[in-house]
Structure 1
């Protein structure tokens, strides 16, 4: 051996020693990446647990049978094996390329202790472990999910074992819908307010000319003609979308009273569809089945995405415009605002129930942020880590456009809540004096249209949307199915009840905390003089003339059915053919179930776990 060769060999040996010893003594992590058999996947030991193969992490490429072996110089300092599928190909049992196209940046994972195979099945196993399950419990959960497959066979080669046919079917479906080149991986949900289907998409005379852009979007993608809200009046719908949990007696009235925690009274299994839900005890307001904020053990889609290594953010219109009102520009909620203001958080009341106008001098900016339209802050699983919440629940205008500039900075779930004017909650859209928003904008469908006309082109121009995006434009609930006010006199109190039809779809159930029909009061025993500010002077004058002995009034809701009535929804995507229409019955629980499917989540939350509930499918994704 020459001197140069000898020195080179010494250098190599020294380098190996610095990385953990001679290569022959480095422990190996070996396994097989399965769809059928995945060749040329980059398999790494995920040292920083971010679900990706980063520079410096030990890796190997799979062979034609999907096999790999990686030297573990970290002495087991990793939680998961990750298989990056970006440049991989799927082979059949004979080694022939099946032509499967994987999406860029897609991956499988397998948790430590379960790395003999790396597949869609072990990816879901890793999610359950990340969510706090033991490996054995996670195996039992998936074994039951896939037709009582023996837990000790979950890591087997389902291509060669006919008893694992259910795993093979699940794997094939996962490859097509989660990691395939035509799978959605970025979802943009934009939730508007209080519009009936006929108002937004029909020919209702008062609003038919207010939203031409929204109507044009319905023709560019899929029109869901039978999409329904899940409740009245606002908040319970947002809770449904994020967690699958039904109303409490406080969330169905937008937590108008003290902002209280939900008291955990244990688990409830719906007798009709088997959904697992939280039963609420008596909260700080003395409301049985009440409360606003769910205990930390109740999880959301956001928590599921964390476990699956997908990114998410909530973008809130106007949040933090007026810090005296909102407290902070990120993750704003009443008890936090109270603490920042030096007041008792136990007595906090939501100060964002109505919009505030800006000052004439411009020192105070108009602020129409509504906490009740921000579902994330109603879960201790999110707000208990305030730094985490601040990173994920942010102001819309200050953040979204910049985040959309690249795929790497675009969250996989973008949840957009416009302010109270832009979402159509305030104003009637006519622009008539006294009929608009506090900002001076017309509100109603006119402001909805303007908001969409600004933001939809920006989203559609983003690299993430163009590659694998889905836009969902829905409404929290309908307002056209209410029967107006039913006035009655109780002593000297004029009681005004808003009659809500509550039509629903998919055999929706009310859950353990509310009953139907039911009356709930938002405001009790207010001076009769305050009625004019709420109802308008003409309506208030007519009521006081009809009930001259009334000195106070109370405003409430009369709930008939369990749903939020028909609203319709529009979906846009490169994978949806223009002009698609579906009459399938969908609701907010359907949306949650659909998003859990999109991201390959192994368990459905709350009422999303109803087997009879339809998720978005081939009636929508038509190309």
Structure 2
């Protein structure tokens, strides 16, 4: 299964038209650039794209790029699309290299950045497990603003009010955020067999399962954030695998669950696997 996912991801990246690169390219007339970096540690060779239909997978016609040796990317997009669509990054098993370790990532996983946080006027559209969590928090409809969501996430991590949870935590030498992001990426990668699949040559993402996974990570953030949280992570990984495996797979054309609904019911209460982002 995982070999199939890797092969499909590589084929997809090669076939999609309009791909850019991590290096700064000069946008064509009538276009603008969205630039930034992708990280757990900086990720080299990750696929980045503007997700115009919100399905977390690269489709024909969506601007895309591959991160360079510094984990940087530049997307050339229509100015009207800036702030309208989220940016998604795919780390590909065996192909994308994590500069924290100098090795290819052990499992494929998906990161994203909220549409409203993107900007064409800066070079800091930073995609990470933190930005991914904030995107899912905003999808619940519970948070009135990005700042409110960042405050809630900072509280889960025991950080001070006003911390910029979208910052490049490595550039800022923020060890707390970096360690938490590493742990989150490990959990996300460990559950991708439950979340990712293939359709022909396209990598697919079961959005309901993906969002369920992110809800469980959020619920247990205070337990998994630190450098000595391996026991808690192992316990959570087992719970997540069971819970996600019991979620019905999303059929083609089936609408995504409302985020407020997706994290109720079977996801209440910390390590039991319940609760999610609404609690």
Provide runs of 4+ in structure 1 moved above 3 Å. Answer: 149-152, 182-185, 305-311, 587-590, 592-597
Q: CA deviation at 1:588?
A: 8.6
What TM-score, normalized to structure 2?
0.57
What TM-score, normalized to structure 1?
0.27
Distance of 1:168 and 1:58 partners within structure 2 = 28
CA RMSD of aligned residues (A): 3.4
Residue 173 of structure 1 aligns to a residue whose secondary structure is helix
What residue is the counterpart of 1:117 in the other structure?
Answer: 126
1:503-551 Cα deviation digits (max 9, x unpaired): xxxxxxxxxxxxxxxxxxxxxxxxxxxxxxxxxxxxxxxxxxxxxxxxx
Residue 69 of structure 1 aligns to a residue whose secondary structure is strand
Distance of 2:211 and 2:105 partners within structure 1 = 23
What residue is the counterpart of 1:142 in the other structure?
Answer: 153
Q: CA deviation at 1:310?
A: 5.9
Distance of 2:55 and 2:212 partners within structure 1 = 9
Which residue, out of 139, 149, 154, partners 1:130?
139
What residue is the counterpart of 1:23 in the other structure?
Answer: 28
Higher strand share: 1
What residue is the counterpart of 1:58 in the other structure?
Answer: 63
Which residue, out of 153, 173, 184, partners 1:174?
184
Residue 23 of structure 1 aligns to a residue whose secondary structure is coil
Distance of 1:25 and 1:120 partners within structure 2 = 32
What residue is the counterpart of 1:85 in the other structure?
Answer: 91
What residue is the counterpart of 1:161 in the other structure?
Answer: 172
Q: 1:74 to 1:157 in 2, by over 3 A?
A: closer
| Aligned length in residues | 186
Distance of 1:47 and 1:66 partners within structure 2 = 22
Q: CA deviation at 1:413?
A: 4.4
Residue 41 in structure 1 maps to residue 51 in structure 2: no
Q: CA deviation at 1:73?
A: 2.2
Distance of 2:175 and 2:165 partners within structure 1 = 11
List aligned pairs for 1:536-555, cutoff 5 A.
Answer: none
Q: CA deviation at 1:84?
A: 0.9
Gaps of 5+ in 1: 1-14, 16-21, 188-304, 312-410, 417-586, 607-623
Q: 1:166 to 1:307 in 2, by over 3 A?
A: farther
Q: CA deviation at 1:55?
A: 2.1
Greater Rg over alpha carbons, structure: 1
List aligned pairs for 1:576-587, cutoff 5 A.
Answer: none
Higher helix share: 2
Q: CA deviation at 1:173?
A: 0.5
Q: CA deviation at 1:152?
A: 4.8
List aligned pairs for 1:233-272, cutoff 5 A.
Answer: none
